Structures are given as structure tokens and as C-alpha cells.
Amino acid sequence: MRIRLNRLPALCTATACAVGCLCAQSSAQGQEAPTGLDGLVRAAVDRRPLAGARVSVVNSNTYVITDGDGSFRLQLADGEDMIRVERLGYAPTELVISEMMRIGLSMTDGLVIDLEESALELEGLVITGALSERDRDQAIRPTSVITQLELQRQLTGTVASTLKSQPGIAVSTMGPAASQPVIRGLSGDRLLVLEDGIRITDVSNTGADHANAINPMSARRIEVVRGPGAIIFGSNAIGGVINVIRDEIPNFVPENVTGTVTLQGQSVTSGAGGAASMFLPLAERVPLRLEASYRTSGDLKTPLGKLENTGVDSWSFAAGTSWVGDRGYVGFSGLGHVNNYGIPGGFVGGHEAGVGIESERLAFKAVTERRELGGPFTTLNANASFSYFDQLEMETPTILGTRFQRESAGSDVIARFGSIGPISSGALGGRASWESFGFGGGLYTPDSERLNLGVFTYQEIDLDPVRLEAGIRYDWTQTTPEREDRNSDIGHVRRRTFSSLSGSFGLLYNLEPGFVMGASVSQAFRTPDVNELFSEGPHLAAYSFEVGNPDLDKEIGRGLDIFMRFHDENNRVHAELSGFANWINGYVYGEDTGKLSRTRLPIYQFFGDDANFKGFEAEIDWVVAGAFKTAVSGAYVRGEIRETMEPLPLIPPFRGQIALAYELADWFVRLESTFAARQDRIGEFETATDGYERFDLVSGVSRTIAGRLNVLTISLENLTDEVYRNHLSRVKEFMPEAGRGVTVNYRVAF
């Protein structure tokens, strides 16, 4: 990275921020700091201006996108700021802009930043589960960040399938629309799925047939924290956290209109879709962000024919605005999402023609931040949200089979503080939420309400080269059915109250530049879901008869993570290896009883047993020579009942990926091999799945057209038309996964 300060007619050249400060001292005594930073981003090799680069302020959502001539103007607060510059195909760079340097820059044409090309895509900063933005290598838990080129290359119609190539993440499916993430063998209600750090409301955690109510096409980045211990986000994060970052509520006023347009086409589903977002200044202190998306597709094509009744039609619209002051902001947003899709039939308990699902989601959010509070606290953040979700499962277009309704209201408050004694930074916070669950159709599950209260504290201690993190949280949850029933067929249906302490402790040791080791221990808490407690009746689209257990106890998960990370000083090699163990007391799962209900549906009964999950994840990216790169990753988890050592059902097999790539700044080509071992450690009434290997070829090009960055990616998937089956697919018995196909993604940033 090279930095220059331009002066007319003379030049003042710098290779570090300190030189800029020296230039400023001779000419700017007594002047006030400017409010804006002007600059230019170029390619280091040929000094070519780079359009579409993102210039952002670290630990703030403030950012700008460079124009066609590479120029930008970034608004900065008083004092010292760190800015980060990122652009597809180039190594990101960070630099500190002091107040004195800003004064010096005001006397020049501005800051010139030259970016070096990089065949190794660096994943940027992590914000999920942390008190402040930090490099991924400095995260105290195994974390994945999907941004820029990788998001463009992996983008599909669901969050789960977009993440499927990440180590430790598998996908449970019941058709292409109903796909759900599985982290280290855990899924459903044990994973928290967030939008901009706020919990979403849908019913994707209660059934294999339920789709997640987020369209990833509008995401700027997706972050995944694997394993328990997300103290900030509260209970039920026993398996991990997925945070889809969309910047729905703006917290600064942009200089100009910015945004993105994304288009996608997919041959294997005859699908097409698009998303557009726009961020603009509405008034001096009022920004506005608008977003819309639409997706449609037909039946999935496999090597053995079509998987009937798997089409999708969905759309969403969102708008967010705020009032931005000198020391904070307050903002609001609204979102509407409609998703209509099919679930295939033709197997035990299934309708021959399948089932149609119609869902809609409305969500409203309010967020505020107050800075420079004085005293020990530096920042106060608060949010409030309300969501309504309704899902209908139709036997025919006019006959209702099952209905799920869910309303929720919640609020989070976090107060952050700086250095206090040995503590370098920390936070105090709390959460309160109310949820209402409604059921209809053939279900006899009683309507229910759930209340949750939680408080936490979290601290970091920096003892360079060692950093310690510790947190503790208390949660109280009460689940109340609409009516008490002592004589129910499933047991005594009644109000249940759960509470528990959660905690985590982690250590990170920067052994030497580029080599990091760490470990964390944690205890996480999960309340049984309403469906696990009180379900009674047929779940139409899941093709199951679900029997709840009102006597279930809480789940307590105790986890251990040990990891090491390495990257060389030239960023040509990046590697990470992590091992984990998760001991869960009272692990709740739906066991196939091997029996059929009167309506010929398989009966699943919820039980709680102590269970163990152990495994590892590994990945390495290596720039072999020039732009030639290779990447290897793999993950394995073993899940079993602790007392009997019997395998748990629906545990993914060992999976991995090998890739060979040639990646320049403006184009790339990549050959990928994805493979899985045979899974024959199976639960009762579960069938084994053979191993497989499939090949994909991905290529892409980026160009500046009309002053805007345009990125085109073409993926040739399952090149050999391999017949293979996903062990976590509910339809694997009669249809394999997708056959040979082409996916085209196009995105323009302005």
C-alpha cells in the first residue's frame, strides 16, 4: 500500500501517516479540523483509478464508494479515525487519520491510496459477537466472513446454500427453497440468525420444510460465528450465530447517492432474480435507504429428472431512515417479505403432488446510538423491533393443512465502556422480548406466549501479546400455553419456566506476527421450543406427525474450542485449524418412532438426552506463484448419545473442498472439487448415504463501465452431472441433488 499527499503545484509524498502529520504542522497552526476527507484510490501497479472501492471508517458504519475516477469524499468526526479501503481483487489496507493529518490534507488535493493486487482474498473485519471491529485473525472464536468476491461467487436463493462451502457448515434441505444451515451438527432453534445484529422472526427453526425469511441477494456481507458462547446475543446461540449484514438503518448521511444492483439467473431451476439497494441524502441530517428484491424459479432439475413442486416466487421491500446528530443517531426501518414455494411429495407420508407454502413477514425496527456519554461509558446502543410472520401450508390451492403464526416484540440495550483498571474495554447489556405463537389447520398444538429477560456483562483485557475475553449472562424464559391440560395425550400441558447462567472465557495469544493461537470455554443455555413442548398433530409440509413433550428440561451446552491461525507477512498463505467439543445436557431431538399415525404420517416424538458433539475444521489458502492459488478445506463432526454412544440422527459426514484458481485483480477462473464421505453412523430408522465428489468451474470478470464497478460471475455447477445425495436431505430417498447447470450473477456498484 502506498499513500501520497498531493499539493498544487508542489508534491508532498508519504509512505506512512506520520509524514502527513509533519506536513500539516508547518502550515495549519490554529486551524479547525475539516469535516471531510478527500482522496483518490488507485492500482499500485499502473496508477489506474479504481472505481467501486469501499472506503470506510473502522468501528462506524460510515463509508463511501469511489467514483469512476477513483475519487472519494469521506465525512469524519473530530479526533483520530482509522479508515479501511477495500476493493475486489486487491489487498485491503488500513491507515490512521489523525486530526493534525486532516488539517494538512485540507491544504492539498487530498490523500492518494495505491492498492496492491492480491490473489488471496482477505476476509476483512469481524463485528459479530465482538465489542469492536477487528481482523478475523483476532476473533476469539472460529469465524467466517463472506464478502466481496466470495459472496458474489457463492450467492444463491437462500442463506444456507450461500454458506454451504464454509468449513463446519452443512445444509439441511427439503427442496431448494427449504434449506437451512447446520453448524457443527446443530441446526434449527440452536442457531441464531440475525439481520444487522437483530433477531429475525420466522418459523424456519421449527421444521425442515420452513424456509428462512431472508433474501441473501441484498446482503453486503455475511458473518458466521461457530460454536457456543455468544454472550451478547443471548440464549439459544448454543450452536452458533449467522449475521446477515444489510445496513438496513443508515447511521450517517452520504455525500452522494450510492447503491448496488444484483441480477441472477440459474438454469438448473429455470430461475431468475434481482435485488437493488439505494442509499441517498434526503436532507442535511436525514439519509434514506431503499431496497427491493424479487426471485422466481421452477422445479429443480436433477440427473434423474425433475424434483416436482419445488418452484419459488418471492419478493421483499425495505426502507430505512434516520436523523443523524453530532453525537449519535436515531433510525427506523420497515420490511415486507413474501415467499411462496413448493415442497415435493411422493414419499412416505407425503402428498403425491406435494404441498404449497405461502408465507409473509412484516418487520419494523428502531435503533439509536449515543456517543461521548461522559463518565465510564463511551457509547449507548438500543434497539426495538416488532415482527409478524404468517405461514400457510396448503394441501390444494383451497384446502389448508397447517398454519403457523408468530408475532414478536423485543428490545436490546448495550452500554459500552473503555479502560477501567485492567479492563481495556467492556459492555453491560440486557434484552427483553415477547413472542406469540399461533397454530391452525390439523395441528392441535395450543397457542402459546413466551417471555424472555436477560442481562449480561462482557469484558476484554489486553495484555499484549495476550488478550483475554470473559462474559457472563443470566436469562429467564417463561412459556405459557393458551390453556392448561392435565389430561392431554402428550402429558401435562402447562406453563413452563426456565432460567440459567451462561458464561464464556477466551484467550488469544499472538505468538509472533501472523501466528495466533487461542482457546475458549463456554456454557450456553437453550429453552425448549414451543413445538418441542406442546406439538400434537400432523405437520403437513414436513410429512410428519409431531408429538411434543411438556416435561422437557432446558438444554445446557458446555463447549471447548482450540484453534491456531497463520498467515505470512506477504499474505500468500492463510491457514486455520480448530478443534471443538460440545457437551449438551438435555439435548432435544425428534426421534422417528417407526410408527405411522392414522393419516399414514411417520410419528416423531421429542425426547431429551445428554449428547456429545466433537470434531474439527481446517482450511488453507495458498498463493503458489503469481496469480495461481490453491485452497483446501474440510470439516468433521461426530454426534452421539452420551450414555449409549449411539449415533444421533442427521449428522453430516466428513466434507471438504479442493480448489485450484488463477486470480488476477480484474478476472479469475476457479476449478472446485467438493466431496463428502459415506455417512453410515446413523440413528434408528435413518438410512446411510454414499460418499460423492462433484466438480464446479467458476469464472468472473470485473470492469469499470460508465464510471461504475461491474462484476460478472459465471458458475458451471456439477460439471459431470454426478448423481449424489445430501445426507441431510429429506427427499434423498427418491431424488438426488441438482444436476449440471449454469448460474450467472451480475452486480454493479454505484
Answer yes or no: are the C-beta atoms of 543 and 514 closer than 8 Å. no
Phi–psi pair at 18, nearest 5 degrees: -60, -35
Structural domains of the chain, with CATH: 2-115 (2.60.40.1120), 125-241 (2.170.130.10), 242-250+257-269+303-749 (2.40.170.20)
Answer yes or no: are the C-beta atoms of 507 and 467 closer than 8 Å. yes
Answer yes or no: are the C-beta atoms of 655 and 171 closer than 8 Å. no
Answer yes or no: are the C-beta atoms of 577 and 564 closer than 8 Å. yes
Quote the CA–CA distance of 141 and 158 in Å, as a whole number.
25
CA angle 331, 333, 338 (to 5 degrees): 170
* pLDDT at residue number 326: 86
**532: three-class secondary structure by DSSP:** helix
Which letter does DSSP use for residue 135 in this model? E
Phi–psi pair at 697, nearest 5 degrees: -125, 125
Answer yes or no: are the C-beta atoms of 84 and 93 closer than 8 Å. yes
Residue 6 has pLDDT above 80, yes or no: no
Condensed to tens digits (0 to 9), the pLDDT of residues 200-242 reads: 888 888 887 888 888 888 888 899 988 776 678 777 778 889 9
* pLDDT at residue number 349: 58
Compute the CA torsion angle 539, 543, 545, 548 (nearest 10 deg).
Answer: -60
Condensed to tens digits (0 to 9), the pLDDT of residues 65-98 reads: 999 899 998 888 777 888 999 888 888 888 888 8
- 3-state SS record for 145-208: EEEHHHHHHHCCCCHHHHCCCCCCEEEEECCCCCEEEEECCECHHHEEEEECCEECCCCHHHCC
Rg (CA), the chain: 26
Quote the CA–CA distance of 340 and 322 in Å, as a whole number.
32
* pLDDT at residue number 22: 28
* pLDDT at residue number 20: 34
Preceding peptide of 9 cis, ω within 30°: yes
Mean of the pLDDT values across residues 348-364? 84
Q: Please indicate whether residue 310 or residue 3 has the higher confidence score (pLDDT).
A: 310
Residue 141 has pLDDT above 80, yes or no: yes
End-to-end CA distance of the chain: 24
pLDDT band at 16 (very low <50, low <70, confident <90, very high): very low
Helices (H) then strands (E): counts for the chain? 5, 46
168 grid coordinates: 463446519
* pLDDT at residue number 350: 62
Range with the poorest average pLDDT among 19-28, 560-569, 598-607, 687-696: 19-28
Amino acid identity, position 261 = V
As a whole number, the mean pLDDT across the chain is: 87
Compute the CA torsion angle 263, 299, 406, 730 (nearest 10 deg).
Answer: -120
* pLDDT at residue number 348: 57
- 3-state SS record for 259-296: EEEEEEEECCCCEEEEEEEEEEEEECCEEEEEEEEEEE
Mean of the pLDDT values across residues 543-555? 90
Q: Please indicate whether residue 340 or residue 14 has the higher confidence score (pLDDT).
A: 340
Answer yes or no: are the C-beta atoms of 695 and 671 closer than 8 Å. yes
pLDDT band at 151 (very low <50, low <70, confident <90, very high): confident
Quote the CA–CA distance of 632 and 389 in Å, as a whole number.
40
| pTM listed for this prediction | 0.89
Mean of the pLDDT values across residues 234-257? 87
Other C-beta atoms closer than 10 Å to the C-beta of 341 total: 25
Mean of the pLDDT values across residues 693-715? 94
